[in-house]
Amino acid sequence: MSHESEDFEGGRQPRESTWPNHLLPSHPALTGSVSESHQAARRALVPSTTGLGQLFVLCESTYSRPWGLTCELIGTTIVLREARGPLLSVQDADIQKCEVTLERSMVVVLEETWKTMLYGVRYAPDRAISVCDGTLFTFGYHRSGLGFLIGEAHSPPEHTRPGKLALLSEMLLDYVRTPDPKKMLRIEQAALRCAL
C-alpha cells in the first residue's frame, strides 16, 4: 500500500488508497483543545440536546459556509442550521434555521447508521493524515444512558465508508433545504451503503 502524498490546494494529503475506511477520533478528543472558530461553529450550529438523544453532523469547509444538521432521536424532526457569514463567536453568529419532519422509520435508519459508523472510530496508526484545506465532517451521537460518540473525516473520498456518510449528510442537507418525498428512498439507500 502506498503512503505517498500528493499535492493539492493548500497542502498535501495521502493518496486515496491510503485513506482509512473508518472515522477518526475528533481533534478535541486528541488534543484537548480546538480552534475558537470550531468551538463557535459547534455551539451555534449543533446545540446540545435537551432530550433523550441526538445525532448530528457539522460540516466546515474552506469553500462554503458551515452548516450543521441535528436530529432528536425521540422526535422526528431534523433541523438544519447554516451560518450566513463567518462564525467568530456564538454571540455574533448569524444563523439561518429550517426544519422538516422525517418518517419515524427514517430516524431509526439514520440512528443505526450513525451508531455503526461511530462505534468504528479508531486511530489510523500506520499513517498520518495532515490536511489544511478542504471539508471537515464531524459526526456525533448521544443517547441517554449510552453516552456520547464523536468522530470525524476530512474530505473523505466517496468510495470509503466515511465518504459515504459525508454523501448521506449532504443528501440530508439537500432534503431539508428542498423537501421532496422522492428523495427519501435515495437517502435510505445511501444510509444502507455506509455499512458496505
d(CA 32, CA 43): 16
Residue 8 lies in a domain: no
CB-side neighbour CA atoms (13 Å) of 16: 9
Query: For the chain, what is the domain count?
Result: 1
Residue 11 lies in a domain: no
- The predicted model gives 174-180 an average pLDDT of 93
Residue 91 lies in a domain: yes
Using one digit for the tens of pLDDT, what is the confidence trace for 88-101?
A: 555 666 788 899 99
**Is residue 15's pLDDT more than 80?**
no
- Which grid coordinates belong to 9? 490546494
User: Could you tell me the pTM of the whole model?
Assistant: 0.80
154 neighbors 131 (Cβ within 8 angstroms): yes
Residue 128 lies in a domain: yes
Question: What CATH number should be reported for the domain holding residue 97?
Answer: 3.30.1560
Residue 72 lies in a domain: yes
163 neighbors 83 (Cβ within 8 angstroms): no
Using one digit for the tens of pLDDT, what is the confidence trace for 44-83?
A: 788 776 677 889 999 888 778 888 899 988 878 888 888 8
Give the domain extent around 48: 23-193
pLDDT bin (cut points 50, 70, 90) of residue 3 is very low
The pLDDT, as a whole number, for residue 44 is 77
Specify the DSSP element, H or E, that contains 72: strand 67-72
Averaged confidence pLDDT in the chain = 78
Provide the Cα torsion 117, 135, 13, 89; round to 10°.
Answer: -110
Residue 93 lies in a domain: yes
126 neighbors 150 (Cβ within 8 angstroms): no
Residue 19: CB atoms within 10 Å:
21
Residue 79 lies in a domain: yes
Residue 5 lies in a domain: no
Using one digit for the tens of pLDDT, what is the confidence trace for 108-132?
A: 999 999 999 999 888 766 555 555 6
